[in-house]
Structure 1
């Protein structure tokens, strides 16, 4: 007997995003904190860009790298949030085939760029604390621009093969994605072909990007901490450590949600699906919101300039 209820999908023109499975009735309420996070990310990162542009004293490598991080956060959060909110508010679940893979490319590309910018910030702090006399001669504007281009090209080119090949795969199992965005592992389960290349390429990218980035950041801060603890007085140690505390907080804000999301996905087989989806969203949405807050609160130059702008407008 033929099964008339079974639909065969062969290269669908669109996918259906379910949002947060199991919590559909609460989508409107869930949208409130997500919308607030997006608003904070947009306002905070644009404020950072505006302050650095207006304040001549902030035209230095650290703040240029901070602007790169702000642009990265704006693109990353905008890639995910508008479509997510349209699901929550208007039940607009359909996403075109090409748009799905474009979103996927931007997510992974700019997530990779994010770690590259953190490496650049670690390099800046290392030079400023461990070799301050050569900081301005090595990290010139031209070198900063080259680092920015290298970070952009690394993320853009390394992630290009995956959507280029995966858009040509047959997708015949279903066109339903149990997620708020086009999540890569979920898409792979819908493909009716050998996906070993994509899995192996993903491991290669992790080896080529994540391992060196984490190693460089770790090495930089080991050297920075050694330099700090060699200072003669406690006040000098605290003052020097304060100059890189913001960067340390940003690193933790990125890697803690990422590790938590990966662990729950790989080892939390008994964890409800909606919890997996929420943790995956936190990995993408928490850093863009926290980064401008951390730098705005903990960086004196940015904090003072922001207070000056606010008080000047109030007078």
Structure 2
């Protein structure tokens, strides 16, 4: 395969981002855009100079000329579309969250393995495909932190709820049956994609206790259904013994921003995971006469990185052509989803082992 021929399902805001990104990847050819709303599909297709538009997504997965499908629809549709694409022998890049339940995620991964196709998730977008992550990961891989025993990660906004202050037209974000969850899912998948990457993708989340809270204010959501959390998180223990303290809010009465602290037995790091302006991170260790010290480690390439969105499509195409795993393979995306559902189950807002649809 010298070029990956791609079909895009979903012509919303994120579908447009995928279309524009794929149009800039020489090794990819976006051939068709599908959406129930033909004008939306036409708009996205025009932005990427794509001639073919469909209103039936099943025509895309059945198209024998395509190698891969990008599923960029609301989360409750991911499972059906991804499974159909896999059954048709297509590689799949699935928007986040990966699936509507851990059981569905596991089924998607198993189906892809049986078919011998690649399935990947988009939660690497902000978490793993940027210079900050690469800098921290290099320190860990070089043994500069030693055994990691604690990660403290928070990301909070005072008012930035999807479907209300952010992208207010997309009210499905506020409906758990369609969005899967609130901020714990919407941005939690990025948080835990980062955390799994730092700890090593082979680890498992073995225990969790958390919270998922809504009712931060008396806002009118503009829709009768508003049943997703605005602030969530908790404590997670991993199979390697590490503890993670996680806190994510789209609405809260607290200071805002996002900071990650990673504590190891030989050293530690503090960094701003989502900042593309930060030029360094802080590394703490005993390196000067056995005394505690901290140094600023440069984050190389920050000024050349650009926006996060295009990198997920570039990585997916490059992985297919190189025969390697994408930065967020489905098998790890399924672990991330299960960890979040463990938090949800602890908080009493979702069942951990929801059945897969027939």
For the aligned pair, the TM-score class normalised by the smaller chain equals under 0.3
- Indicate the structure with greater strand content: 2
Larger radius of gyration: 1
More relative contact order, 1 or 2 (CA 8 Å, 6+ apart): 1
TM-score w.r.t. length of structure 1: 0.25
TM-score w.r.t. length of structure 2: 0.23
- Indicate the structure with greater helix content: 1
